[in-house]
Amino acid sequence: MRESLTVIGLLLLAVALRSSRVNCLRKLGAFTLLGASFCLFYFVTGKWMGGLLGVALWFLLPWIELLTRIRQMRLPLNNRLRYRKIPNPSFFPNAAEAAAAMEEAGFEHVSDCGWEWAGMKQFFRLFWHPEERAIAAVCLCEQSNVAFAFITITSHDDDGKIWRTTNFPFAPTLQCPPNVRWNHVPCERSCFHQILKDHHVYLDRVKVTSDRLRMPDPEQVEDGVEAEMRQQVEHNLAAGIIQLAGDGNFQYSKRGLLFLWGQFIKDMIRLC
């Protein structure tokens, strides 16, 4: 009974800590859950290696999805943005506020568009600001019963580099080309004005002054998003992360599955 009560107690403590609004306590809850897994397998096997196996299983869980759904995915080489109606705001409670904040900051609406990737629908509400020399977007993603929204602010410099600040909550699923730099801010930071301030700080940190930034063309914003995606696909083909699957599609290679596993682990650690 002592061993069973120890595991149950750790599980209850982990659930309690995971319910906290304090980030460090939630992370402590994740470590407590790992401790409960270690104790369970240790008590069952009577060996330290058994306990370590119980912890390792959490990090092997992503392979279930990697070897089933993701391995079978076929994605288009040349995906095109199309006009999309604004999704139901009830699925994205922060999206309307973010779009309103962009207009308050002087950003002008460009277009509403979207595309689909292997069953995941992505909607973009695009804005631009001539004085900021930046493009902002509210991005809405919906897949099965999961939906989330995030914000991006993008600047292009005269050297062809792309500087982007975002509160996107996950690690990228493809490698970024060398000319693209991401500045990730905490995903719970949903205030556009704060993210814009973070973007200014980021540009100052990398010593990119406003006179080096290119003026966006509102007529070419959608084409720019498509061109950047094509560049990313070509870069990952060259890196061996993805491979051609025929019929104008690509799929993840074995190396790509390992890359995705690493990204899943990053998310597990960062978002725990």
pLDDT of residue 271: 64
- Same domain (yes/no): 122, 242: yes
- Same domain (yes/no): 89, 201: yes
User: Is residue 6 assigned to a domain?
Assistant: yes
pLDDT of residue 229: 93
- Same domain (yes/no): 96, 50: no
- Same domain (yes/no): 226, 101: yes
- Same domain (yes/no): 87, 147: yes
User: Is residue 258 assigned to a domain?
Assistant: no
Query: Shortest CA distance to 271 belongs to which of 210, 187, 167?
Result: 187
pLDDT of residue 93: 67
- Same domain (yes/no): 51, 82: no
- Main-chain phi, psi angles of 116, to 5 degrees: -120, 140
Q: Count the domains in the chain.
A: 2
User: Is residue 271 assigned to a domain?
Assistant: no
Q: Cα-Cα-Cα-Cα dihedral of 163, 92, 23, 34, to 10°?
A: -100
User: Is residue 261 assigned to a domain?
Assistant: no
Side-by-side strand order, sheet with 249-252: 75-76, 249-252, 242-246
- Same domain (yes/no): 92, 193: yes
Domain that holds residue 223: 78-250
User: Is residue 68 assigned to a domain?
Assistant: no
Helix (H) or strand (E) holding 224: helix 221-239
- Same domain (yes/no): 102, 169: yes
- Same domain (yes/no): 20, 119: no
- Same domain (yes/no): 223, 129: yes
pLDDT by 10s per residue, the chain, length 272:
788 888 888 889 888 888 877 778 888 888 898 899 999 999 999 899 999 999 999 999 999 999 998 999 999 888 889 988 877 777 776 788 888 999 999 999 999 999 988 778 899 999 999 999 999 999 988 877 778 889 999 999 999 999 999 999 888 999 999 999 999 998 778 889 999 999 999 999 999 999 999 999 999 999 999 999 999 999 999 999 999 998 889 999 999 999 999 999 888 877 65
Residue 192 corresponds to which tokens in the numbers above?
A: 């556009």
Contact between 73 and 118 (Cβ < 8 Å):
yes
- Same domain (yes/no): 226, 93: yes
Contact between 249 and 75 (Cβ < 8 Å):
yes
| Predicted TM-score of the model (pTM) | 0.85
User: Is residue 173 assigned to a domain?
Assistant: yes
